[in-house]
Amino acid sequence: MKAINLCVASLFSLLLIVSCDDNDEVSAPITGVWNGTKADFRLNPKGLIPPFTITEDDFSIRLEFKSDGTLLLTDNSNQTTAGTYALNGRDLAINISYEYEFIGMEGTYNVEELTTSRLRVSIEKEGTYEHPDTGQQFDGKVKATLYFDRQAN
């Protein structure tokens, strides 16, 4: 009886681990219009400047993912930039020429959340940045986490 309980417990643990795999396919569609709600930038400079986080609560970027792989990005001045995207599991590859705060928007994002109403993606990049308070240039890494809500039709 002990062996059966141990076997069942081991099987349950294995199923739990497999079901929580970060590489699971996302089940909600990404096609549609997404309005930015917030952006977090975690900067980790090389050298003496300590790491810091900047939160943009007015992240007014709108993304429209079309079913043909086209991406339209509209900023707060109503300028629209076209690009492409591909969603493969939790990898969202974006090819677009647009700069926002500390990052260029092109690159491969990790889809942290994709539901019928919310999208959260993150990306890490290395580069040269400017400290927002001092204006000092520094080399380092930035992790950007972008939050979106699906636009209702």
Going from the N-terminus, what domains does the chain have, and what CATH number goes with each? 25-150 (2.40.128.280)
Please determine, for residue 72, whether its predicted confidence score (pLDDT) is greater than 80: yes
Q: Whole-model pTM above 0.85?
A: no
Tell me whether residue 6 is exposed, middle or buried, using C-beta atoms within 10 angstroms of its C-beta: 0 to 12, 13 to 18, 19 or more.
exposed
On the question of pLDDT at 98 being above 70, the answer is yes
The pLDDT tens digits of the residues spanning 19-63 come to: 344 445 567 999 999 999 999 999 999 988 899 999 999 999 999
Q: Which two tokens stand for residue 72?
A: 């339209």
Whether 83 and 96 have beta carbons less than 8 Å apart is answered as: yes
pLDDT on residue 120:
98
- Could you give the count of Cα atoms lying within 13 Å of 28 in the half-sphere of its Cβ? 13
